[in-house]
Amino acid sequence: MSSKKKADISAQQDARKARLAEQLRANLQRRKVQARARRTGEADDRPEGIAAAKEEDRR
């Protein structure tokens, strides 16, 4: 292999590593935000079931 091809391959590998590292950091940030939201979130106060299903039961 010529030194130019080795340099190109090395540059591609470095770019891939950098891209994957950035994606990993972004994913970890999203997961941290989700975990914080779950931890500080309030209880779900939505009514149980689907409203349409409850209306059919009343008939």
pLDDT tens per residue, the chain (59 residues)?
678 888 899 999 999 999 999 999 999 999 999 988 888 766 556 666 666 566 655 55
Hey, where are the domains in the chain? 3-58
Which distant-in-sequence residues (6+ apart) come within 8 Å of 15 by Cβ?
Answer: none
User: How many whole angstroms separate alpha carbon 29 and alpha carbon 33?
Assistant: 6
Whole-model pTM?
A: 0.54
Token representation of residue 7: 């340099």
Which distant-in-sequence residues (6+ apart) come within 8 Å of 50 by Cβ?
Answer: none
